[in-house]
Amino acid sequence: MCWRASRKIEPSGQAREFLFVVKTIHTVEWMKQAARQARAEGKLVGLVPTMGALHAGHLSLVRAAQAQCDPVVVSVFVNPKQFGPAEDFEKYPRPLEADRALLERENVACLFAPPPLEMYPNGFRTYVNVEGLSERLEGRSRPGHFRGVTTVVLKLLEITQPHLAYFGRKDAQQARIVRQMARDLNLDSEIVVCPIVREPDGLALSSRNVYLKPDERRAATVLSHALDRARQEIAAGERDAVRLAALVRKRIDAEPLATADYVEIVDAETFESVTRLRRACLAVLAVFVGSTRLIDNMLIEEAEGLGETFRCTL
Ligand code: AMP
């Protein structure tokens, strides 16, 4: 299979660039065959799994993948198994043509966009679950969410057989759980975690930001501003994680349109709450702004060689 054709030889013998077209694949069988062939040709396959409605956050993963892999497969699949019954599965944005155009501009080789029945045919019964990690934080607020995530990610890894698969720290718990699954199940794919892309005012990019009304969009900056408040306190010497979490929550409570679901400082490996900052932690939060649920986090790492100094990355 030809993954990419960007030049055409005219009858005159002259080479002419022609518009790059992203290969769009809708069936599992075809995707498996294409991936097998790329591997057989000795190519380094990259996968960027998404639910579509692509934004600059997704594109940062695509670019990280393009820098290391060829071909890069971007999957666009709104996974019904990771939505609770009262969640936004039906209204989740699905602008597939716009997504395809964005991927074309990025020179992505392959868009994998299977319909739900292709991924979950009638009679589907098998799930994968990462115990413990999947029950905390997002898992506690959204029962069954991570079981749906790990099941679809394992299927996507099986179908596309990537050497590297790219995830965003925006969904830090998800990335940690996927990494655990890859380790526990001896998967061949390396899991790469990329930084959070934010709007200029600090709001982390998310496909769900389109739900925000103008006043909610303004209020939504409270997530990153609250985390930044914690960053300032840490820079001033605060090491008490309980006090830091309380400070973040207070900042969120001060925003009338925002309601905190959870605010915690957790160990970056176990996702258990900590009482004092240690080697690598995350300040994680989930906040309803109006009826839209947003998540964000800040990485807090001990700066090497500097004793008890911590570096915060929003
Ligand atoms: P989603 O389409 O929301 O399932 O996200 C697909 C991938 O993009 C996940 O690995 C996300 O963590 C990542 N992602 C989403 N938003 C951002 C962002 N603002 N910055 C970096 N990565 C992101």
What is the per-residue pLDDT across 252-293, written as a single tens digit (0 to 9) for each?
999 999 999 999 999 999 999 999 999 899 999 999 999 999
Share of the chain above pLDDT 90, in %: 90
For a substitution probing ligand 1, which of 47, 48, 50 has the most ligand atoms within 8 Å of its CB? Answer: 50
Ligand 1 atom showing the smallest separation from residue 167 Cα: 10
pLDDT at 1 over 70: no
Query: 63 CA to middle of ligand 1, Å?
Result: 13
Backbone angles phi, psi at 289, to 5 degrees: -115, 110
Question: Do 283 and 173 form a contact (C-beta atoms < 8 A)?
Answer: no
Residue 308: pLDDT band with limits 50, 70, 90: confident
Ligand 1 atom showing the smallest separation from residue 204 Cα: 19
Quick: pLDDT tens for 166-219: 999 999 999 999 999 999 999 999 999 999 999 999 999 999 999 999 999 999
Question: Do 227 and 259 form a contact (C-beta atoms < 8 A)?
Answer: no
- Give the max Cα distance, the chain: 74
Instruction: Characterise 246 by phi-psi region: left (phi > 0), alpha (psi -120 to 50), beta (else).
Output: alpha
Angle (CA) 271-281-137 rounded to 5° is 30
pLDDT at 18 over 50: no
Residue minimizing CA distance to atom 17 of ligand 1: 57
Query: 14 CA to middle of ligand 1, Å?
Result: 42
Q: Which of 26, 55, 58, 145 is catalytic?
A: 58
Mean pLDDT of the chain: 94
Query: 235 CA to middle of ligand 1, Å?
Result: 28
**pTM beyond 0.85, yes or no:** yes
Task: Tell me how far apart the alpha carbons of residues 250 and 227 are, in angstroms, rounded to a whole number.
Answer: 11
Ligand 1 atom showing the smallest separation from residue 197 Cα: 20
Query: Which of 173, 203, 178 has the alpha carbon at shortest distance from 192?
Result: 178
Q: Which pLDDT score, from 0 to 100, does residue 304 have?
A: 76
pLDDT at 13 over 90: no
pLDDT at 43 over 60: yes
pLDDT at 3 over 70: no
Is 58 an annotated catalytic residue? yes
> What value does the mean pLDDT take over residues 65-78?
98
The residue with greater pLDDT, 195 or 22, is 195
Question: Do 24 and 100 form a contact (C-beta atoms < 8 A)?
Answer: yes
Show the ligand 1 pocket: residues with CB < 6 angstroms. 50-51, 57-58, 60-61, 167-168, 170-171, 194, 196-197, 204-207
- Sequence-ordered strand ranges (E) for 104-250: 110-112, 164-168, 190-194
Quick: pLDDT tens for 100-137: 999 999 999 999 999 999 999 999 999 999 999 999 99
Which H or E run contains 138? Answer: helix 138-141
Instruction: Characterise 287 by phi-psi region: left (phi > 0), alpha (psi -120 to 50), beta (else).
Output: beta
Query: 7 CA to middle of ligand 1, Å?
Result: 33
Q: How are strands ordered across the β-sheet holding 292-302?
A: 258-267, 280-289, 292-302, 310-313
Query: 8 CA to middle of ligand 1, Å?
Result: 36
For a substitution probing ligand 1, which of 170, 178, 201, 313 has the most ligand atoms within 8 Å of its CB? Answer: 170
DSSP-H helix ranges across the chain: 28-40, 56-68, 96-105, 116-119, 138-141, 145-160, 172-184, 214-219, 222-235, 241-253
End-to-end CA distance of the chain: 42
Query: 247 CA to middle of ligand 1, Å?
Result: 27
Residue 12: pLDDT band with limits 50, 70, 90: low
Quick: pLDDT tens for 237-246: 999 999 999 9
Residue 8: pLDDT band with limits 50, 70, 90: very low
Side-chain half-sphere CA neighbours of 282 within 13 A: 20
Q: Which pLDDT score, from 0 to 100, does residue 21 have?
A: 78
Ligand 1 atom showing the smallest separation from residue 206 Cα: 16
> What value does the mean pLDDT take over residues 85-105?
97
